[in-house]
Each structure stands twice: as C-alpha cells, then as structure tokens.
Amino acid sequence: MNTIAKIWLLLLVVITTANNSIAQHYNKVIAEVDTETHLLNIEQKIIFHNTSADSISEIILNDWINAYSDVKTPLAERFSDEFYRGFHLAKEEERGKTSNISILNNELLPLFWKRPEKNPDLIVVQLAQKLAPNQKITLQLRYKVKIPSSKFTKFGYDEFGNINLKDWFLTPALYTNQAFVQYSNENLDDIANAVSDFDIELKVAEGFTINTDLDTVEEISNNDYSIYKLNGKNRVNFSLFIEPKSTFTNFKSESFEVITNLDGDKITPFAQAEAIDCVVRFVKKLVGDYPFKKILISQTDYERNPFYGLNQLPSFIRPFTDEFTYELKFLKTYLNVYLNNSLFIDNRKESWVHDGIQIYTMMKYIEENYPNTKMMGNVSTFKLLKSFNLINLDFNEQYSYFYMLMARKNLDQALGTPKNTLIKFNEQIASKYRAGLSLRFLNSYLENQAVSKSIYAFYSKNKGLQTTAIDFENKLKQQTNKDIDWFFNTVIYSRNLIDYKFNKVTKTADSIQFTLKNKTGINVPVPVYGVKGKEIVFKKWLEPAPKDSIFNIERSNASKIVLNYKNEVPEYNLRNNWKSLKSFFPNNRPVKFVFMKDLEDPYYNQILYVPTLEYNLYDGLIPGTRLHNKTILEKPFIFDINPAYSTNAKTISGSGFFSINQNYRNSRLYNVKYNMSASYFHYAPDASYTKLNPNIQIRIRENDFRDNRKQLIYLRQVLVNREKSAIVTNDLTTENYSVFNAKYFNTKTEITKHFNFIGDFQVASNFGKLAGEIEFRKLFENNQQFNLRVYAGKFLYNNTNSDFFSFALDRPTDYLFDYGYYGRSESSGFFSQQLIVAEGGFKSKLKTPYANQWMSTINASYKLWNWIEVYGDAGLLKNKFQKETFLFDSGIRLNLVPDYFEMYLPVYSSNGWEISQNNYNEKIRFIITLSPKSLINLFNRKWF
C-alpha cells in the first residue's frame, strides 16, 4: 500500500470514528397525538450503537414522563420537600405516565424489561445476549404516553389546549464509565440522554400548529389531521410545542433561525428583533457558533429559570425600560437553551460549567452594552434614595449578594455538588451566580481575557459532543502558565470561605508596608487597590503564603488601600478590607442612618431605623422606632432596639436584643447564637413586667442540606419582674422570679407529612417540671389531612400556692412571656378567646383548667373539606389531693391558614352540648398571627 493510500485509509478511520462518537444512536418515533385526551400513541425504533469498550447485557431507557405517574416517585417527593401541594392533590387524569409498553428485538421477539424500584421513570431492557463493543441492536417499541398537566412543571398540556412536550418518549440513557447514568426526573432539566439522531413523524388534529427546533422535512395536511415529519442530527433533546394558534414568531439571524414566544407585548417587533440580534451576535462572539439551524426560546423556558430580581418586582415598579427587560430575559433564556442544546455535559453532577458560562456571559454582556446600569435601574436617579447602598450598586454586583445571602446563613454549597442535592435557592440562584462570579474572578486574575478565550475554545471543540468538567478545566489551564489548581480545589469543589483583612499597616510618603491576615486559612489570590478619592491609582494581585504575609507596595499618592475593591473575589466579608492612610482614625467608619432596609455597605457603620406599631390590650397602640444593624445579609453581631410608647399607660415601653452569631462550616452543629434580650410592657391595665432573657441557641442539621429535619437546643435563663396589680391577683408571690429553661426541638416538615418533637425542662426556686410534645400531620392523596398532637408534663417538685406555674388545659398563663397574647390576663371577653395551642391544647374552657401535678392530653383533627376540619381533644389531669380527672372536647376547626389564621367552634365537651348553650359566641376560639416575620416564614420554607 503506497503512502497516499495509507493517508486516505487513516482519514477514513478518523472520519468513521468521529461520526460514531457524534451519532451514537438512532431514534425513529411515529406518534399520534390525541389533543382531547392528551394521549400519545407511539411506535418507535431505536438503533442502539454500543460505542463503549464494554459488552453490555442490558440497556437503560429514560422514561421521564412516568415520573408523573404517582405520589411516590422522586419527582413527587421533591414537590413535597419544597412545599408544593398541587401535584399531591391532583386528579388522576392530570398526572402523566407511560403504559402498554411492548419491546421487541431484531427478530421481533419480546424482550424482558423492568423499572428499578427507586427509579420508576427508567426502564431496564434485558438483552437476550450481550451486545459487543461497536455492535448495534434494533429495539421495536410500542406504548402509550399520558401527557401531564403543565401546572406542575410547565411541561404538558394547559387549559387553553396548548401542549409543551419535553422528555416525552423513551430514549437511551448516557453510557459512561462502564455504566448507564441512572437519573430520575426531579424537575431539574438535567436528563442524561445519549447523543442520537432523530426522525419524528407527528400526527395531530387539523387546526393545530407545531413549533420545534428540529428541522421540518415535510408537512402533509388533509381535512382531519396533519402529519409533520421532523429530523435532528446529533442531539440529546429538543423542544416541541403543539398549539391551536401559534404564539411563536420567527427571527432570522446571520446563521440560524430564532423561534420565540417570549413575552414582548410591551415593545415593538422591531425592538424585539434588535434585542435578539444583539444577543445572538454577542454570544456567537464570546461563546461560539451554534451548530443547529434553529433555536427555540419559549416563555416557558424563561418562567422555569427567570432572572431573579426582575421577576420579583411588582408590576407598578418599573426600574428598567421594557426594551432592557426583554433583552435581559431573552439573554438569560437564550444562553440556557443554547448551552443545553449544544454542549452535552452531565448537568446533574457538573452543572457549574453551564451555569458559570451562562452567568459569566451575562455579566460580560452588561459590561459591554450597559456599563453604567445600576442594580435598581432608574430608581438610582431618585435623590431621596441616594443614601441606600442597594440603589447605588452596579447591576453586576447583585450576583455577589445573592450568593452571599446563602453563605452568611451557612447554607451555601460547593459548586461541584450534584444539582439534585442542592437547596432550592442554591440550585436556582446562589450556586449559578457563584459559578459566574468564580469565572469572572479567575478571568481577572489570569488577565488578557484568558477565561473568555477558554470558553470559546472549549465550546468550539466540544459542541455536539459529550464532554466533561475536566475538559473545561484543561482548556482553562492551557490559557495560562500560572498554577490554578487552587481555583478548582477551593472555589469549585469545596465550600471553603475566603476572607482576608489588613492586620498591620505602616506607610511613608512613597511606600506602604502591610500584613495580610488570612482569616479562614484558604489561600487564593486577592487584589489590593490604592485609591485616592474615587480614583484607582494602583492595583496589584497578591498571592499570600499559608501564614500571614508581609507586603511592600509603592504608595502612588493613595489615600487608602482596599482589598478586593471591585469585589472580584467571592469573599465572605468585605467590611474588613480597607485601611485609611490618613493620619487620624485609620479604622473609623462613618455612621450612616438608613430608613427601613438596605444591603450591607462595607464602608459605613449602618444603623437602620424603622417606624413600628404594635398592640396589646393594656398598652394599647404602641408606636415606636426600631434601631438596628440588620441588613439583608446576616452579620456576626446584631443589635436591635425598639423603644416605644404605650398610649394607654402613657409610659415608655419596648424591647431589644443583642446577638452574637457563630457559624461552624464543617459540622452538623452548624450555628450557635448567643443572645441577650429584654422587654418592658404591661401584663394588666395597672401593672407592667420586665423580662430579661440571656440565651443560647444551638442548631443542628443533617449532612444532606435538602433534608428538612432540623434540630435546636435552646438554653436560657428567664428573669421576670412583675409590678403588683390590684386587678390581677392570682398569686402575689409570683411578682419576681427566675426560671432556667432547656428545650430540645426535632422537626421534619414537608407538604405531605410533618413531625415535631419538643422536650422541655424547667427549674426554679419553687418548682421544677419536665414536659414533652409530639406533633404529627399527614396529608392524604384525596386531600384529607390528619393532625395529631400528644402532650405530657409532670412536676418534679411544686411548692407554689397557686396555678400560675401549673400546666394549663386550654390557656397557659405564659409566665415566661413567650406567647403573643393580645390580652394575656383576660379571663372573659373577646381577648380571652385567643387560642395558642400549647400545653394541654384544649379549645373549650372546662371546669378544671389547670394541673399542679401532671397532665397528659391528645389533640386531633381531620379535614372534612378544603379548610373545614373536625377536632377532638382528650386528656387526664392530676391535681394535689384529687383523683385524676378525664376531660374532652370536640368541634369544628376552620383552618384558613394553618398556624396563622384559624377558628375553633366547640360542639360537644365535658361541659355538654356547647353549641346549644348560652353565650355561644364567647366559646369560639381563634388563632391570629399579625407578625410579618412569622408570615414570611411561609415563603422561606420553600427556598431554604
């Protein structure tokens, strides 16, 4: 064989190998769509090509529609974890599933298949004989698909007849590292499909249109139906919309077609086209050429991954122009679809690569096209708001604050953490933003746009191929001679914090010498700036040694030196990053008073002031002013003082606390707070109380951050000083007392079930008691809910002469002043009907309301319909010198907002038929919570 022939043979081998690696499998799908019943009848041929070096005896197919089949799938469990109840309570016809599955081999002989117990949305096909490397097998499949309602994940059918099909047919799972990747659908857009070629034949009723990013080969129509023939080469997934009336518009770019129905009603088609063209050109320049002829950008894509901040603002607040808002929404959504469609990476384990490229590109886009835009847009032009740091931040600085929100809560997770183990806020916001910030940090450190060049080279080489984070890492390392292992070890694959500060600074007219203190022991480069006024006079990257380092720098007329001035390094604390080089008060930060709330400003001591208005029966309206330093980010030291005025008593009232917050990064015991609180209000019309409460809160969490189980150990000493009252005379010996209290909380809550245990130990000079409480709540598939609470308490010793410290059946005396009573000393009238479910938890007022030895009760309720429940309570009480007493009550519970707004209507109890007795309106009990902080918790639990 001559040399030329050898060259041609080598080229043929290379081309053949390349083609095999690109198009591993072939999928031909013939689907008939029933738009009335939302059913798909599917015939499918899969040619599976074993391009691995292994002989395989089974093939795993992704069947993610089946994740909607019942309330025990991983998808359903995730809905429950995140407090979404819509799926659990859905009708059977609203859920999706795959059924009537038949799988045949080449000889049309049936193949055995099964679903893994923990992955009901996967199918394992057993082969009759092993498939050798580089061999192919043809699978012939028939099955039915029930499309789910789009209200769960926005994929499926909606009430207007539109159908958004995603992951709707069986596809070979990715095979890598000698095994198939087995991921269940957890609503994370990270299906691990193998790269395939597709031929799709879709039959739909006449009058419906389709939009897809596949190529349309042929369209055949008659009076009853239309048949669309589509194909796609070298893909892992695609979008497909079936609509009675198309909502999409087509825009032509230089090299491909953009199809979109992104909401742009507020701007002209020309402005939309202009924004789209600007985005497409920029992404092409920074990331690379898109390999397909069409890309589809839908409103659904945006709503599933919105630009947080823009989507949270009320419609009447318009800090940005409609054109800018549309452009930014399109940019974010376009990048997400662009990368998912063309850069095939394991998006469950290595999502930081996509996220980093997406957010980094967005920041670059703003820098180039809108360099002076502020985080709050044109609100920054209002002179009245100029003092707010939130208003003055550059647009790109918001990414750092969203990440830091979780870091300060000690809830951040490493960027290399698998996506399905991320807390929802991290998965959708904080981790994405930190990935982009990290790439920006590396780009600034390496200089010469090394990261931008790496992204372009990485994408150009790997688009349309299965790739990994290691490939991206290698591409970054090729762009520099510097050692950047620290970036991956520390920034990507750990949750270690970065925090530097100046330790000792000396200066002359020409030079500066300083020591850099590494507070966390994590060694990464950090820039130091010399600043004069608002002008940067020098910048130098420092690479600290493991021990605290000493540096000498030319002064260049700088008046202060600042670490990380541009916030390039994702640093934990920016408040210790600067030193004045002036003669006096080098550490002095000016005090700045800010109204309501603000972001942390590292260059000021912020004191926030907020008008407050509280109420109780004895103090009346209590207007006041709250002074505190609680910015949006948590701090190691917090003060919060709320002086107020009691309009009834005509005296000063109020409360306040000081708190030291300490996080532990690598421990289940993750947070300890040391607090000192105090309050002064009235407990009767003629008497006030003062409460001092030094306490320690110890918080424990599971190693799995998504686990909703939380534990708390609460230790406190409660000191109470009560003035004598001529009106409330239940025990004149209880005016001043001190109680040591230790509590243990163990709680696990999700939408379908709730469990809570509280252990309570109290000891004082004249009594000691031990109590325990268990709460259980279960939501059934038929929307019925069962609630159970068990309480038991016993005095260890009791030398008191009244029931002030006794166990209460229906209304605790609240001698520790923990509960939000509006009229705590009332024994009749409206305010006495306020219910706080504690201790005995009864709703009816019975003849034996207290127990001074022991008490054991059970409280239960069951949902009848919507928010209407029946309840029942039963218990045994034991008082000194008396026999045990059995008591019970029952009635109707109107559970409007659980734990926040409820009403209890007694029916039958130990008092008899209460509903027929006089003054029934005085027997009705209510729960009402007016605290904004408590109501906000309803939202927070979905994210944290």
DSSP state string for 21-51: HH--EEEEEEEEEETTTTEEEEEEEEEEE--
Whole-number Å distance between alpha carbons of 107 and 74: 35
Confidence of residue 111 (pLDDT cuts 50, 70, 90): very high
CB 882 within 8 A of CB 854: no
The two structure tokens encoding residue 430: 């904080």
Separation of alpha carbons 169 and 187, rounded Å:
16
One-letter identity of residue 448: N
Q: Are 804 and 689 in contact (CB under 8 A)?
A: no
Structure confidence at residue 772 (pLDDT) = 98
The pLDDT-based confidence of 578 (bands split at 50, 70, 90) is: confident
The predicted structure's pLDDT at residue 732:
53
Q: Are 814 and 923 in contact (CB under 8 A)?
A: no
Confidence class of residue 32 from pLDDT cuts 50, 70 and 90?
very high
pLDDT band at 930 (very low <50, low <70, confident <90, very high): low
611-635: pLDDT as tens digits: 999 999 999 999 999 999 999 899 9
Best CA proximity match to 186, nearest among 418, 375, 473, 415: 418
Backbone angles phi, psi at 528, to 5 degrees: -115, 135
Q: Are the C-beta atoms of residues 119 and 106 closer than 8 Å to each other?
A: no
**Does the pLDDT value for residue 311 go beyond 80?**
no
Confidence of residue 11 (pLDDT cuts 50, 70, 90): very low
Least confident among 154-168, 368-382, 676-690 = 368-382
**690-705: per-residue pLDDT in tens?**
999 999 999 999 999 9
Kindly state the average pLDDT of the residues 649-660: 96
> Are β-strands 669-684 and 687-701 bridged in parallel, bridged antiparallel, or unpaired?
antiparallel
The pLDDT assigned to 942 comes to 63
Rounded to the nearest 5°, which phi and psi values hold at 884? Answer: -60, 145
The share of the chain scoring above pLDDT 70, in percent, equals 93
Mean pLDDT of 14-33: 67
Taking residues 160-189, report their average pLDDT: 96
Name the residue type at position 81. D
**493 close to 415: Cβ distance less than 8 angstroms:** yes
Per the listing, tokens 């600067």 go with 578
Give 901-931 as a DSSP string: EEEEEEEEETTEEGGGSSSGGGT-EEEE---
Distance CA 364, CA 516 (A): 31
Q: How far apart are CA 357 and CA 439, in angstroms?
A: 8
Closest alpha carbon to 710 in 741, 676, 660, 671: 671
Note the Cα 484 to chain centre separation in Å: 31
Lowest mean pLDDT of 61-65, 218-222, 834-838, name the range: 218-222
C-alpha count within 13 angstroms, C-beta hemisphere, residue 429: 24
DSSP code of residue 195? P
Joined together, the tokens standing for residue 28 give 């031909």
Give the count of alpha carbons within 13 A of 631, CB side only: 24
The answer to whether 500 and 567 are in contact (CB under 8 A) is: no
Check whether 934 has a pLDDT greater than 90: no
pLDDT at 58 over 70: yes
Structure tokens at 334: 């376009």
In Å, how far are 888, 893, 901 from 905, measured between CA atoms?
A: 14, 6, 14
Question: pLDDT tens digits for 456-504?
Answer: 999 999 999 999 999 999 999 999 999 999 999 999 999 999 999 888 8
Pair 309, 332: CB distance under 8 Å: no
* Angle in degrees, CA 246, 252, 256, rounded to 5: 105
Question: Which of 693, 691, 689 shows the shortest CA–CA distance to 676?
Answer: 693
Query: Could you tell me the two tokens for 194?
Result: 């193998």
Count Cβ atoms below 10 Å from residue 886 Cβ, excluding itself.
11
